[in-house]
């Protein structure tokens, strides 16, 4: 059995660490929290709002990403003593094989903070990860994201996420027709409706409000939850909020 070494000098590749702010999406919307945004993603969604974490064709990733120590990351994320820390990306579960990931989760868990990990659902959490994360906010990508189906859907990873018993599924929808694809997805992967959050796509408060208005009635009728993007309503696309 391998031994986990907690070393605050371990490092991870990070885009930004910020807070205190609020969780803008999903079941914890409105909760005060710190945010850790890690670099790298295994998908390339056309409407991605954080391409600077992975898209080397458009960004100089040596400038947008930095390798930082776990001590530095945790100290910054815990500024203001939030009771929740959100680890996002990119795709944060890409970092699971790194010593820095183990040290980060161990240190945050020891601090008493709850931990949410935002994932696209294509990578299974390890037992080590699953034991320390309070909730996975899993956002599987629909066809409109532009990724090939065999890249954006991994049934085994989704099954492991379901098995943790601590997962919410968040689907970005551009219009009500997308709900048909959500219905097929949740049936194919045996996802209970009450674990599903429908979220409008958009990067301005008026667009999000209009889109949510269209999605609300059919989503509620289908047994799903709704989420806005609170950080967009408050701060638009300003980074680090
Ligand atoms: Fe962007 Fe998320 Fe898609 Fe990765 S999975 S490309 S971070 S929207």
Q: What is the pLDDT of residue 59?
A: 98
List the alpha helices (DSSP H) in 3-87: 61-64, 70-77
H helices of the chain, where? 61-64, 70-77, 99-111, 127-132, 149-152, 155-164, 178-188, 205-221, 230-235
Whose tokens are 């991870």? That residue is 12
- Find the 226 Cα to ligand 1 centroid distance in Å: 20
Q: What is the pLDDT of residue 175?
A: 92
Least confident window among 102-111, 126-135, 230-239: 230-239
Question: Nearest residue CA, atom 8 of ligand 1?
Answer: 48
Listing DSSP states for 131-150 in one string gives HH-SEEEE----GGG---HH
Query: Which of ligand 1's atoms lies nearest the C-alpha of 90?
Result: 7
pLDDT (0 to 100) of residue 234 = 92
The set of protein residues with a Cβ atom below 6 angstroms from ligand 1 is 41, 43-45, 48, 50, 89-91, 120
Calculate how far, in angstroms, residue 176's C-alpha sits from the geometric centre of ligand 1. Answer: 21
pLDDT of residue 121: 98
1 has pLDDT over 60: no
pLDDT at 209: 93
Give the up-direction half-sphere exposure of residue 227: CA atoms within 13 A in the CB hemisphere: 27
Smallest CA-to-CA distance from 87 within 132, 36, 131, 41 is with 36
Q: Are 8 and 78 in contact (CB under 8 A)?
A: no
The answer on pLDDT for 144 being more than 80 is yes
| From 123-137, 181-195, 199-213, the region with the lowest mean pLDDT | 199-213
Please compute the mean of the pLDDT values over residues 120-126 and round it to a whole number.
98
82 CA → ligand 1 middle, Å: 26
Residue 210: per-residue pLDDT: 94
Query: Could you read off the pLDDT of 6-53 as tens digits, one per residue?
Result: 898 999 999 999 999 999 999 999 999 999 999 999 999 999 999 999
SS3 (DSSP) at 13: strand
What are the backbone angles phi and psi of residue 77, rounded to the nearest 5°? -65, -30
User: What distance in angstroms lies between residue 70's CA and the mean position of ligand 1's atoms?
Assistant: 23
Which residue's alpha carbon is nearest to atom 7 within ligand 1?
90
- Say if strands 135-138 and 84-88 run parallel, antiparallel, or are unpaired: unpaired
Cα(2) to centroid(ligand 1), Å: 31
Q: Answer for the pair 30, 228: CB distance below 8 angstroms, yes or no.
A: no
> How far, in whole angstroms, is CA 233 from its chain's centroid?
18
Q: What number does the ligand 1 atom closest to the CA of 147 have?
A: 3
Residue 2 confidence class, pLDDT cut points 50, 70, 90: low
């Amino acid at each position: 059995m391998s031994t986990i070494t907690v070393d605050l000098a371990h490092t991870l590749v990070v885009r930004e660490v910020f807070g205190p702010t609020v969780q803008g999406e999903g079941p914890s919307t409105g909760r005060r929290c710190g945010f850790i945004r890690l670099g790298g993603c295994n998908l390339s969604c056309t409407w991605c709002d954080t391409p600077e974490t992975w898209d080397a064709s458009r960004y100089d990733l040596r400038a947008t990403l930095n390798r930082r120590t776990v001590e530095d990351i945790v100290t910054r994320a815990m500024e203001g003593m939030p009771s929740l820390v959100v680890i996002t990306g990119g795709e944060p579960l890409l970092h699971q094989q790194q010593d820095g990931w183990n040290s980060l989760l161990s240190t945050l868990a020891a601090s008493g903070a709850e931990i949410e990990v935002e994932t696209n659902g294509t990578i299974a959490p390890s037992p080590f990860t699953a034991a320390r994360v309070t909730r996975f906010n899993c956002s599987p990508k629909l066809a409109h994201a532009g990724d090939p189906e065999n890249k954006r859907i991994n049934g085994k990873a989704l099954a492991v996420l379901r098995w943790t018993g601590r997962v919410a599924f968040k689907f970005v929808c551009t219009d009500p027709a997308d709900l048909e694809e959500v219905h097929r997805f949740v049936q194919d992967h045996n996802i209970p409706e009450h674990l599903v959050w429908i979220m409008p796509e958009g990067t301005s408060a008026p667009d999000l409000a209009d889109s949510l208005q269209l999605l609300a009635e059919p989503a509620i009728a289908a047994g799903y939850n709704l989420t806005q993007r609170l950080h967009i309503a408050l701060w638009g696309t300003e980074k680090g909020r």
